Amino acid sequence: MELGFLGLGQMGSAIAERLQDAGAQLHLFDPNKAALAPFIAKGALVHASPTGVADAARIVFACLPSGAVCEAVARDVAAGGAVRLYVEMSTIGGPAQAKVQAIVEKAGITLVDCPISGGPKGARAGTLTVILAGSPDARAEIRPWLERVGKNIFEVGDKPGQAQLMKLVNNLVNAANMATAFEALVLGAKGGLDPDQMVNVLNVSTGQNSATLTKVPKSVLTGSFDYGSSLTIMLKDVMLGLQEAEALGVPMWVHGTVGQLWRFAEQQGLGPADFTSMIKVLEGWAGVEVRSRG
């Protein structure tokens, strides 16, 4: 099966690797030549532009960093002669998704809205959560490939944009969980509590959440700050979620404050750092670190 894939960042490369290992003949484009090298070694074909990929494959997946990049790439894809299904795996929000949809559908290409959650580690393990919206026929055609990368696949509707909204709902909750968990753990550490024990108590009590279960033990207590996604990417998703809320007339008192905290952390120079590094801002204010004592 000839599949196209555009965007070999941390998430995209892991997803493309799963598709290639499942037997797909990959057609690739990414401006980063180093990212292409391991795929070339396993038989993937590299093209000079997204249009080249769209000239070679009926189904093209995209996993890109921003709405502006997605729109530019969609214009190139729309000029391709073979592509009929365009699977947008990027998290870009409803308005940008609508622009991409208009571009490709004008060229007779069906768009599938398909953001994913679970990080690069989940992508490599094939355990991603895949959120899917688009025509039933298109969803059915790509589902066998999505089952190669995702453990949980949720088909949320026939209208592209619905999957984007669901992904942003998830990421708003994720960002808020991290902010509140980090803040409370700093409080406990300042009062002399053992960080490891705090996390153990939380994870068998009502304070349990995704931050205390995975992010804090793996990347904060250890001081590695290597969970796998940048702080800027998290801030981007929070801002997209707040924009969706404003468009729908939904007040976001709590998440508005959460967004201010993430933006402040980026302004302190932490944007390129792992998103778990946000706790360093709170630690700095309190004059304490949340690290294992062992």
**Does residue 150 sit in the same domain as residue 180?**
no
Which of 131, 158, 185 is the C-terminal boundary of a domain? 158
| pLDDT digit string, tens, across residues 17-32 | 999 999 999 999 999 9
Task: Name the residue type at position 35.
Answer: A
Share of the chain above pLDDT 90, in %: 96
Q: At 231, is the pLDDT very low, low, confident or very high (cuts 50, 70, 90)? A: very high
**Does residue 154 sit in the same domain as residue 169?**
no
280 a catalytic residue: no
Task: Note the pLDDT of residue 210.
Answer: 94
Task: Note the pLDDT of residue 42.
Answer: 96
Mean pLDDT, range 46-58, rounded to an integer? 97
Mean pLDDT, range 218-238, rounded to an integer? 95
Q: Say if 291 falls within a structural domain.
A: no
| pLDDT digit string, tens, across residues 242-258 | 999 999 999 999 999 99
Mean pLDDT, range 225-237, rounded to an integer? 94
Mean pLDDT, range 165-187, rounded to an integer? 97
Please list, in sequence order, all residues whose beta carbon lies within 8 angstroms of the beta carbon of residue 284, skipping any fewer than 6 positions away: none
- DSSP annotation of 277: G
**Does residue 57 sit in the same domain as residue 129?**
yes
Return left, alpha or beta for 194; rule: phi > 0 is left, psi -120 to 50 is alpha, else beta: beta
Which of 158, 185, 213 is the C-terminal boundary of a domain? 158
The catalytically annotated residue of 159, 167, 236, 280 is 167
Task: Note the pLDDT of residue 119.
Answer: 84
Strands 59-62 and 116-117: unpaired
- Look up the pTM and report it: 0.92
Task: Note the pLDDT of residue 228.
Answer: 86
Look at the chain and report how many structural domains it folds into: 2
- Token digits of residue 117: 């959650």
| pLDDT digit string, tens, across residues 94-144 | 999 999 999 999 999 999 999 999 888 888 899 999 999 999 999 999 999
**Does residue 191 sit in the same domain as residue 149?**
no
Share of the chain above pLDDT 70, in %: 100
Answer whether residue 1 shows pLDDT above 90: no
Cα separation, 255 vs 155, in Å, equals: 26
Q: Say if 275 falls within a structural domain.
A: yes
Task: Note the pLDDT of residue 31.
Answer: 94
**Does residue 182 sit in the same domain as residue 141?**
no
Q: Say if 293 falls within a structural domain.
A: no
Give me the chain's average pLDDT, please. 96
Whole domain around residue 69: which residue ranges? Answer: 2-158
Q: Say if 87 falls within a structural domain.
A: yes
CATH number at residue 282: 1.10.1040.10
Q: Tokens 């108590």 appear where?
A: 201
Q: Are the CB atoms for 139 and 30 separated by under 8 Å?
A: no
Q: How many other CB atoms are found less than 10 A from the CB of residue 287? A: 8
Q: Say if 13 falls within a structural domain.
A: yes
| pLDDT digit string, tens, across residues 276-294 | 999 999 999 999 999 999 7
Task: Note the pLDDT of residue 61.
Answer: 98
The angle that helices 162-190 and 94-106 make with each other, rounded to 10 degrees, is 150
Which of 124, 158, 192 is the C-terminal boundary of a domain? 158
Mean pLDDT, range 57-69, rounded to an integer? 96
**Does residue 25 sit in the same domain as residue 124?**
yes
Answer whether residue 83 shows pLDDT above 90: yes
Task: Note the pLDDT of residue 28.
Answer: 98
Nearest residue to 97 (alpha-carbon basis) of 269, 240, 276: 240
Task: Note the pLDDT of residue 38.
Answer: 95
Mean pLDDT, range 167-172, rounded to an integer? 97
CATH number at residue 110: 3.40.50.720
